[in-house]
Amino acid sequence: MATYSIVDEGYVVTIVKSFPELFVNVFDDDLFLDQDNNIPLNGKNLKKELALYGMAWIYVEGDNDWNLKIQKH
């Protein structure tokens, strides 16, 4: 079973133990997986990002700085 850490911009760390729990913790309609707001945060895109890199940086619409960092352990 995969474990995920979620680090917010204040460096507060949350640990979750399943992908559904991870998604519930980070889901918001205005979150994106890229600085240009082209890749919306959804389950499919997040799984791809974690499979490719083992981590994902999450951005808020219109914000060029990360708000969450997710890492698969």
In which region does residue 37 sit, left (phi positive, over 0), alpha (psi from -120 to 50) or beta (all else)?
left
7: amino acid identity, one letter: V
Domain count, the chain: 1
DSSP string of the chain, one letter each residue: ---EEEEETT--EEEESSHHHHHHHH--TTEESSTTS-SB--HHHHHHHHHHHSEEEEEETT--SEEEEEEE-
Write out the residue range of the structural domain in which residue 66 sits.
Answer: 4-72
For residue 1, the model assigns a pLDDT of 75
Q: What is the pLDDT along the chain (73 residues), one digit of tens a residue?
A: 789 999 999 999 999 999 999 988 888 889 999 999 999 999 999 999 999 999 999 999 988 899 999 999 9
